[in-house]
Each structure stands twice: as structure tokens, then as C-alpha cells.
């Protein structure tokens, strides 16, 4: 690291669990790039100042995690088509055109589900937990994949209802509702932050929906590698996957946006898994 080193970082709250520094720094080393990737704890009230500060200091880019993905939409100079389409920003590139916001989560979500759960989304019935930045992106992307039915549950139910209304307008062939389904579904997906902390409750209210009603559970959280939700899902004989595949695919796309080079995907995957599983 020297005076010419290009810098990127992930900002969020919490952020200490992040495997992104290990993943991106391994990728930079593999390609012989004089780049480094850092992590900063940033409260939402300081998000605008953090983005402006990174831009002023010549950072190449930022990743945004909880709880910043929706807030950042109003804080960048320009939105890439991906951010306009999915309504959230998880990647920022700094350059002559200022701070440009991208969304690399959407494609990563569906790619990870297909790879890790071997689940075809077209025609599937999905229960989605969470309507924040990650939840909104997931809901819209799942609808675009032509799921048959989508059930949205959020602590503040009005947020789920807002997303359901948007889906009905943009993807009228998808049956969407806010609230828990009564019948079986193919997939339960957690897009909340519940599970990041050891004392977090499960994001799923099993009094309203039993894990026996689904055949697969995907948790966007990857640290811890097995959340309470995933442990309960395994006990219920569900197929399960955590969010490490999504992390790798969204990170690879961000890497390419910043560097203009093809991401060394397997290097990034090994580094992420090493960080999470201690391999």
C-alpha cells in the first residue's frame, strides 16, 4: 500500500461481520492491482457525509449495506439503470461524472438461488421477509422472474403493501399479497437483518407460518453462517442456503464496475468462504 493505492470500502451499520474486505482484497491481489478495500461503520444520519467524504478523498467506489441502500438513492449524483430499475443502491462508483449509484444485488439474488438451492423461480411461490432496501430489490427481481405468487411480510406492513402495489403495476401477471400464505410455498427468503446478532429473534413468526409449509429457505445473511432461521429450516428438512453466494456475485459485479476488469470469481468465493467458515 502506498500513495498511489486506489481505495474502495463497504459502509454500513453493523459492518464488522462483513466478508467483503477479505473477498475484494483477494481479488485485487490475484490481478496484481494496487487497490485496497476497507470497512467503515457509518450511522444512517452520517451517510451523506460519508459518501461526500469518500468522493472528496478520491475513493474509487463504495459498497452499501444495511441500512443504507434506500437512503443512498437520493444521495448520489446519478443513478445507473440498474438502480433505477430495482429502486436501491448498493454500489457507488466515483469518477468524472460524480457519484454514480448501481444495484448489483438483484442479479446476484436470483443467481445464488438457482446455484445454491437448484430452484427454478418461474412459476414458484415465494414468501419474502423484509421490505427494506434488500427486500424491495428482492421482491421486484423475483416478480421480474415470473414467480407465480409472492407473499410479502414486514414489521411495518405498510411498506410491504407499497411494494405489492408497485409489483401489481409493473408485473401484473404476478399474484402478490402482503401477509403470510396459508398454503405451501416453494421458497422462504429472509431479506431482513434479523439474525446478524446472536440474540436476534427469528425473522419468521412460526405461529403464522410453519417451516413445514416450504421446501427451501434462503437467508441473505451469511455471518453467522447458520442463523436461527436456517437452523430451524434444517430441522424441518428444508433445503437451505445462506447469503454467501449472493455476496460473491454482487461483489464480483461491483469489482468489474470499479476496475473495468473481469472479476476472479473463484478467488473471491474462496476468500469469502474462508472469512465466514474459517477455511
Note the pLDDT of residue 24.
Answer: 98
Q: 270 φ, ψ to 5°?
A: -60, -40
- 69 contacts 14 by C-beta, under 8 angstroms: no
Distance CA 229, CA 240 (A): 10
Average pLDDT over residues 136-157: 96
Note the pLDDT of residue 66.
Answer: 85
Catalytic choice (69, 125, 141, 253): 69
At residue 149 the predicted structure's pLDDT band, cuts being 50, 70 and 90, is very high
Residue 210 confidence (pLDDT) above 70: yes
Note the pLDDT of residue 276.
Answer: 92
Of the candidates 182, 185, 180, the one whose C-alpha atom is nearest the C-alpha of residue 215 is 185
Contacts of 270 (CB under 8 A, 6+ apart): 26, 279
Residue 198 confidence (pLDDT) above 90: no
The tens digit of pLDDT for each residue in 17-53 reads 899 999 999 999 999 999 999 999 999 999 999 999 9
Note the pLDDT of residue 278.
Answer: 84
Note the pLDDT of residue 42.
Answer: 97
Distance CA 256, CA 8 (A): 13
Residue 130 confidence (pLDDT) above 90: yes
| 69 flagged as catalytic | yes
Average pLDDT over residues 84-101: 95
The tens digit of pLDDT for each residue in 224-273 reads 999 999 999 999 999 999 999 999 999 999 999 999 999 999 999 999 99
Which domains are delineated in the chain? 6-104+245-277 (3.40.50.10860), 106-244 (3.40.50.720)
Note the pLDDT of residue 161.
Answer: 96
At residue 80 the predicted structure's pLDDT band, cuts being 50, 70 and 90, is very high
Give the pTM.
0.93
CA 176 remoteness from chain centre? 21
Note the pLDDT of residue 133.
Answer: 85
Q: Which residues of 40-70 are buried (b: 16+ CB within 10 A; e: fewer)?
A: eebeeeebeebbeebbeeebbbbbbbbbbbb
Average pLDDT over residues 200-214: 95
Distance CA 92, CA 55 (A): 10
Residue 279 confidence (pLDDT) above 70: no
Amino acid at each position: 500500500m502506498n500513495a498511489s493505492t486506489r481505495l474502495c470500502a463497504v459502509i454500513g451499520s453493523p459492518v464488522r461481520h462483513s466478508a467483503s474486505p477479505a473477498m475484494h482484497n483477494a481479488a485485487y491481489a490475484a490481478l496484481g492491482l494496487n487497490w485496497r478495500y476497507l470497512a467503515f461503520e457509518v450511522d444512517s444520519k452520517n451517510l451523506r457525509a460519508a459518501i461526500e467524504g469518500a468522493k472528496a478523498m478520491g475513493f474509487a467506489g463504495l459498497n452499501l449495506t444495511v441500512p443504507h441502500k434506500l437512503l443512498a438513492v437520493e444521495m448520489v449524483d446519478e443513478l445507473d439503470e440498474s438502480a433505477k430499475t430495482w429502486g436501491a443502491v448498493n454500489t457507488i462508483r466515483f469518477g468524472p461524472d460524480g457519484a454514480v449509484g448501481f444495484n448489483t444485488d438483484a442479479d446476484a439474488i436470483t443467481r445464488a438461488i438457482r446455484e445454491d438451492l437448484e430452484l427454478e423461480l418461474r412459476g414458484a411461490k415465494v414468501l419474502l421477509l423484509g421490505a427494506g432496501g434488500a427486500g424491495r430489490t428482492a421482491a421486484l427481481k423475483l416478480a421480474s422472474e415470473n414467480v407465480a405468487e409472492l407473499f410479502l411480510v414486514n414489521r411495518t406492513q405498510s411498506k410491504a403493501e407499497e411494494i405489492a402495489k408497485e409489483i401489481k403495476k409493473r408485473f401484473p401477471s404476478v399474484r402478490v399479497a402482503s401477509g403470510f400464505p396459508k398454503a405451501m410455498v416453494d421458497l422462504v427468503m429472509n431479506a431482513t437483518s434479523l439474525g446478524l446478532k446472536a440474540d436476534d429473534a427469528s425473522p419468521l413468526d412460526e405461529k403464522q407460518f410453519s417451516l413445514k409449509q416450504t421446501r427451501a429457505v434462503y437467508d441473505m445473511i451469511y455471518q453467522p453462517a447458520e442463523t436461527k432461521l436456517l437452523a430451524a429450516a434444517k430441522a424441518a428438512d428444508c433445503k437451505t442456503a445462506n447469503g454467501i453466494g449472493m455476496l460473491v456475485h454482487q461483489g464480483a459485479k461491483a469489482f468489474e464496475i470499479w476496475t473495468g476488469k473481469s472479476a476472479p470469481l473463484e478467488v473471491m468465493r474462496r476468500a469469502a468462504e474462508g472469512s465466514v467458515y474459517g477455511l
